[in-house]
Chain A
């Protein structure tokens, strides 16, 4: 676990009406953060409150977008607190700096832990600089459990428990060592006395919390490691979960939007004379790159907007196409080496390749991808009495609030951001890509009523911030026993993060050269469930498979022979192979493939069975093995990995965003096809709890799947796929 910096403290305070608050917070000024004892802000400065009736409420400073963090984080705190889980509740923390998670992450950066790039990026938005990590509550990088949970929730729970025990011991005038906390009570066995946490909380809150409380041993866990049901399931099966799109306010109007079809184009003029008399019509607003039509019902807004005469100026990107981009990529990668920025240089790769009998070369490509969250982008905003309120599903409520203040050009103190559930995130709903938030705020500043802006699916698909298209060129030479001697990978980089580790190789290869060539495009790009790991995982794990076949060695054994120094990798591969039945005799046309990728602190191996019969591809089965060090809630973890497999498999089979004349071609689910129940393979997920540092879960299921499938295709019919999606590779997909 990383060391805490001097700027991080545990705080506590009494709550009016009894009970207490305990929290771990990161702040330059701890005295300012003593929870003021008023009903309104009793929640401030704390991650847990204990009420007199012994109800425990855990405040989670992260967004719930399906990944289960609103259940997993309270589990971590409740475990250390020795709370009675049946009386634990969850509440999402408000968008206040006091609940920012940035400084805790900074503490981890300082102690040398690998922090996901999504956090670093937040320091420097393209257009809206958010000055400080203090305004960050980001949910991303598969990091909530790893950082907030590990450093915050566990410590806050343990410290609060120590204070509760101390309160009981003082009341009973016994040694605190003789007291024990269990199921939200403190007991003193010798005297037979007991008191509930609720009774002790107010007194306990007066003590100085320990910064380094003693944490429980894993073997003593009674909550963590159990498949406890999620808090949010009951509401979600009866249609009562409140998503951003469901917000209803008195007097609210609805807005539909049409963006410039060409990126960075501008909105020029409109003529609403033909539609002004339509029922429910309110007004048209011209924004810099879009037109917004407001009506009293969303369908009326949407249909009227479709008939609004508008003029856009395409700007300079009207010639852009993805075909041209890939020809630029090829040219760049074929050009001289001076453009290459090295990520890793080890040994003399060029010399080894030059003197090799044979150089094995391969060119891999992946397209742009959209997120296509089920809930289209939306934001409701209301500006009244100098106050701005926003309701939107966001992966960072606090930064969204800061962003909205920046757009509205008002003080952040005058902005309220209300937490709502996200209908999918996958990296789309981080504030640095919050164009829908910006638009809603600009609209709200021009009208007197609350407005709910909803993008159509078409706008969502054509104005996303996409997973970058990438091309990667590999060269390798093999040694006398067929092992790779030199490994060269040069890839194109059109942005997103500075994280270069995705292209790194876990295999023991003495000579390595990995580098990238930067290139600019007008296409907005951003995070997408595992980002670079999804593309580089496909490239690397396919190319190593090529080398195995070239060497005439079983791809599993080939990997294992190169992973002798990486026992966690070997164990995951061996288990995945065993689970799929690597050695068994297969039906004609069937093939098995395997791949392994470490991302966000977890090592994931996946073995896949496919069949190709008459050029028809079916994916039958996926065996995934995850070494995340530790698993907090195995059911939630399992569902995350199942979901990651489906997300990555969808992309591998069908996913492609392409552009012509500066415009995105795909516009809805029929031409941006997604996997449905009919095409879902059997997925089994196993966990290895190696006890190493706790790894992420939300993204880690995605990266290996494309390579595992393509390696299985090669095993089935000897055809090597080097470009995705598979549907473009003269294959019919049975799905």
Chain B
């Protein structure tokens, strides 16, 4: 079945099974490997992208559910120069192995798009991505540096 997706501003049509998760459409059909496979059950957040501007875990999200949607991946985020979150990530030297960071960044960007000054509680509840290198304290510091005032 054919599905139409707007990915990082470009129109794409993919002919795949409706049940195929968006993650594998991105990675294996479209070659966008910045979005990562971590758990396959939406528990770790490594596969987070923006679907119509909202951070969404894609490893269990069937492509049929996002037909016609506007999708932004990590590759699209910094397309026109680094996003402020990406800049903050460099400034605070957040990544270690870096594998979870695409998802972590997409998750934080979505939170900051919704609320400019997220509370500690909002950050804790929203950014529930897993990082096994343990970069959380730097994620927190980078987000703090982006808050207004």
Q: Interface residues, chain A, CB within 8 Å of chain B? A: 65-68, 229-230, 232-241, 243, 245-246, 248, 254, 279, 297-300, 302-303, 372-376, 421-426, 454, 456-458, 635-636, 639-640, 642-647, 650, 668-670, 674-678, 680, 682-683
CB <8 Å contact, B136 and A676: yes
In the bound complex, CA of A376 to CA of B130 (Å): 13
- CB within 8 Å: A-B pair count: 179
State whether the Cβ of B129 lies closer than 8 Å to any Cβ in chain A: yes
Which positions 6-44 of chain B face chain A at CB distance < 8 Å? 16-17, 19-21, 23-24, 27-29, 31, 33-41, 43-44
Bound-state Cα–Cα, A303 to B31, Å: 20
Q: How far is the CB of A728 from chain B (nearest CB, A)?
A: 20
Which A residues touch B101, using CB under 8 A? 236-237
Ordered by A's residue number, 12 sampled pairs between the chains whose C-beta atoms are within 8 Å are A229-B93, A230-B93, A297-B20, A297-B24, A299-B20, A374-B38, A374-B99, A423-B99, A426-B132, A635-B93, A668-B39, A677-B136
Does B99 lie within 8 Å of A674, measured CB to CB? no
Secondary structure class of chain B's binding surface, majority of residues: loop
Enumerate chain B interface residues (CB-CB to A < 8 A). 16-17, 19-21, 23-24, 27-29, 31, 33-41, 43-44, 46, 73-75, 77-78, 82, 86, 89-90, 93-102, 105, 123-125, 127-140
Give CA–CA (A422, B133) in the complex, Å. Answer: 12
A457 and B134 form a contact (CB under 8 A): no
Specify which chain B residues have a CB less than 8 angstroms from the CB of A246 in the assembled complex.
33
The answer on a CB contact under 8 Å between A376 and B135 is no
B140 lies within 8 A of A680 (CB): yes
Interface contact A376-B95, CB-CB below 8 Å: no
Q: Are A645 and B134 in contact (CB under 8 A)?
A: yes
Beyond A68-B96, A235-B98, 15 additional pairs, beta carbon < 8 A: A66-B97, A239-B34, A279-B17, A299-B21, A299-B23, A374-B99, A424-B97, A424-B133, A635-B93, A639-B138, A643-B135, A646-B133, A650-B134, A669-B44, A677-B136
A376-B37 CB under 8 A given contacts A238-B78, A424-B99, A642-B134: yes
B contact residues around A254 at 8 Å (CB): 28
> Is the CB–CB distance between A241 and B98 below 8 Å?
yes
Q: Is the CB of B99 within 8 A of A243?
A: yes
Contacts of B129 in A (CB 8 A): 676-677
Query: Quick one: closest B residue to A246, CB to CB?
Result: B33
Given known contacts A254-B28, A299-B20, A457-B38, is B105 in contact with A237 (CB within 8 Å)? yes
Chain B residues lying within 8 Å of A376, measured Cβ to Cβ, are 37-38
Contact flag A643-B96 (CB < 8 Å), given A237-B90, A374-B46, A424-B132: yes
Tell me whether A240 and B34 are in contact in the complex, defined as CB-CB below 8 angstroms, given that A674-B130, A678-B124 are known contacts. yes
Question: Are B75 and A677 in contact (CB-based, < 8 A)?
Answer: no
Contact between chains at A239 and B93 (CB < 8 Å): no
Q: B75 touches which one: A239, A644, A670 (CB < 8 A)?
A: A239
Q: B93 and A233: CB pair below 8 A?
A: yes
Instruction: Establish whether residues B98 and A373, one from each chain, have CB atoms under 8 Å apart when the complex forms.
Output: no
Minimum CB–CB distance from B57 to chain A (whole Å) comes to 12
Do the beta carbons of A239 and B35 come within 8 Å of each other? yes
Report the Cα distance A598→B6, complex, angstroms.
Answer: 54
B78–A237 CB distance below 8 A: yes
Q: How far is the CA of A505 from the CA of B24 in the complex (A)?
A: 51
Say whether A299 contacts B28, CB under 8 Å.
yes
Least CB distance, B133 to chain A, in whole angstroms: 5
Q: Are A677 and B140 in contact (CB under 8 A)?
A: yes
- The interface residues of chain A lying within 8 Å CB-to-CB of B36 are 243, 245, 374-375, 423
Given the complex, which residues of B lie within 8 Å of A644, measured CB to CB? 134
CB proximity of B52 to chain A, nearest CB, Å: 20
Identify A680's interface contact among B20, B46, B137, CB under 8 A. B137
Say whether B28 contacts A682, CB under 8 Å. Answer: no
* A233 and B90 contact, Cβ closer than 8 Å, known pairs A239-B35, A246-B33, A375-B36: yes
> Which residues on the B side are within 8 Å of A454 (C-beta)?
37
Query: Is B98 within 8 A of A232, CB to CB?
Result: yes
Closest A-B pairs by Cβ, 10 of them:
A239-B34, A646-B134, A66-B97, A423-B99, A66-B96, A236-B98, A239-B74, A643-B134, A678-B124, A299-B24
Are A674 and B98 closer than 8 Å at their CB atoms? no
Which of B28, B33, B40, B139 meets A677, CB within 8 Å?
A: B139
Minimum CB–CB distance from B65 to chain A (whole Å) comes to: 15
- Of all chain A residues, the one with the shortest Cβ separation from B95 is A236
The answer on a CB contact under 8 Å between A237 and B89 is yes
Shortest Cβ gap from A684 to chain B (Å): 9
A677→B41 contact, CB < 8 A: no
What residues on A are CB-neighbors of B35 within 8 Å? 239
Given contacts A238-B86, A239-B74, A240-B34, contact A457 B39 (CB under 8 A): yes
> Contacts A422-B97, A677-B127 given: A647-B41 contact, CB under 8 Å?
no
Nearest residue (CB) in B for A452 is B28
A233 and B38 alpha carbons, distance in the complex (Å): 20
Residues on A with beta carbons closer than 8 Å to the beta carbon of B29: 297
Residue of B nearest to A248 (CB): B31
